[in-house]
Structure 1
Amino acid sequence: MHKKVKRKMWMSLIILFMAGGGYWFVTRSNPNMCHRAGDVLDVLDGVAIHYNGGIHATHGRNRTPDGYNIGIRYQCVEFIKRYFWERHKHRMPDSYGHAKDFFDPQLPDGGWNARRAMVQHVNGGGTKPAKGDLVVFRPWLFNRYGHVAIVASVSNNTVEIAQQNPGPWGKTRTSYPLVCTENHWFIEHPRLLGWLRLPATKT
């Protein structure tokens, strides 16, 4: 009986090791041979969306000529910061942080997010999302850093986002249902925290 238990333990360890190795390969390499890192997959408002490979793959840091930090190529954060820089010349006071750090859970709906110099709205709050907003997703089991994207279009019942680094086979555009109940707007996604918007003087 003791030998059987030890055998099961070893088998479990081997399976865990193989699963961990597979996860590392998929998230840090390029398992999709149809693209190479840096390939332009899409364009939103004149700003390119690049292919990254595995979601944790990195390709050096992108900075403006005067040193402002855009982010790690070609992560999701790099795209949204490059979008606001190229479109609006917007510099975030805090130019670092993971995707999850872009949403401050301590702020009220419509509060000022000083780290990003943007107005923050809670998913389910009183402000309808608009084209060009920055949406933030909470972390989950397979991505502890969270995710960020840009609102590409909005209708009365749908929000389309544009995103970089959704995974080797992920799509750059994804749509979610938009529901308004008693003047509260909710994008139906279980991990979507809310959206940030430039102040009117910057748009």
Structure 2
Amino acid sequence: MRKSRRTYRRRNKTPLLAILIIVFALAIVMGSKIVSSNATDHSQTGSSYGAQTADHSSEAADTARLIRQADVAAGTKIDEYKGVPVYSNGANYMSSHGLSYSEDDYYYGYKWQCVEFVKRFYYEIYHHEMPDGAGNAKYFFNPMLAQGELNEQRGLVQYVNGGNEKPREGDLLVFDEGSYGHVAIICGVGDNWIEVIQQNSEVPREKYSLVYKDGAYTISGDRDPAGWLRVSSR
């Protein structure tokens, strides 16, 4: 009878042990899936973070390609557009380094102020001489003129920011904020952005937002321009 009872107990332990083994195996399988899932999630997160870092690094690289004028000596070429150089004005934006003239004595302005570059660009590319090329940058835009009217002082057609005329490459962009204002040349135009090239600014190129709404084109950014000027034959 004792032998029979031992046999009975062993027979009852066998299915219990099998159940425990099955449960343990299932736990291992489920645990592996959870670990695998977590690993995948972490991998995806890492990839996303890496992509953002790469994008940011790409933007940083684009910025790094722009030479800051304060980092080089005044008179150093830091960029160019259509073969017309942009020069650094050094660390002091208010400084000038003599008068600038063309080879045939057309007056560009003070070296290396923003006005000097836009006048030199318009003279070399469009052979355009401004009837009145004097004055600070802000006075290149005449707020009394109607949209598309000739700015006689500059000999250029004037368009207001927020009007019905889309800016074009080569247009002369005028900012009238502050005591002196600023001028730049539009060197790129997209569906929702423009890029300018300029002299006597922190960097020679900047991008601005371009919004078209209700028939009006508006350029905006860290500073908003008053409008832009254009050679009438373009």
Task: State the percentage of identical aligned residues.
Answer: 41
For 1:88 and 1:194, how far apart are their aligned partners in 2? Answer: 20
Q: Which runs of 5+ in 2 are unaligned?
A: 1-68
Aligned partners of 2:220, 2:184: CA distance in 1, in Å? 15
Deviations 1:135-178 (A, max 9, x none): 000122xxx10000000100110000001001xxx111100110
Which 10-residue stretch deviates more, 181-190 or 54-63? Answer: 181-190
Equivalent in the alignment of 2:226: 193
Matched residue pairs, number?
A: 164
Structure with the bigger RCO (C-alpha within 8 Å, sep 6+) is 1
Q: Offset of 1:104 from its aligned partner? A: 0.3
Q: 2:214 aligns with which of 182, 185, 191?
A: 182
- In 2, the alpha carbon distance for the partners of 1:135 and 1:88 equals 16
Q: Does 1:152 align with 2:187?
A: yes
Q: Distance in 2 between matches of 1:155 and 1:191?
A: 17
Take 1:65 and 1:171, find their aligned partners in 2: how far apart are those partners?
A: 28
Aligned residue for 2:150, secondary structure, equals strand
The Cα of 1:133 is off from its aligned counterpart by: 0.2
More helix by share: 2
Contact 2:139 / 2:176 at 8 angstroms: preserved in 1? no
Report what 1:97 is aligned to. Answer: 135
Tell me the residue number matched to 1:46: 83
Indicate whether 1:55 and 2:90 are aligned.
no
Q: Equivalent of 1:35, from 49, 69, 72?
A: 72
Displaced runs of 4 or more, over 3 A: none
For residues 64 and 51 of structure 1, the distance between their equivalents in structure 2, rounded to whole angstroms, comes to: 18
Larger radius of gyration: 2
TM-score, structure 2 as length reference:
0.68
For residues 45 and 68 of structure 1, the distance between their equivalents in structure 2, rounded to whole angstroms, comes to: 20
Name the counterpart of 1:4.
Answer: none
Cα deviation, residue 97, structure 1:
1.0
Q: What is the TM-score of this pair, normalised by structure 1?
A: 0.78
For 1:98, the aligned partner's letter is: N
**What amino acid maps onto 1:131 in structure 2?**
E
Q: CA deviation at 1:69?
A: 1.1
Q: CA RMSD in A?
A: 1.3
**Which structure 1 segments of 5+ residues have no match?**
1-30
Tell me which protein shows more strand as a share of its residues: 1
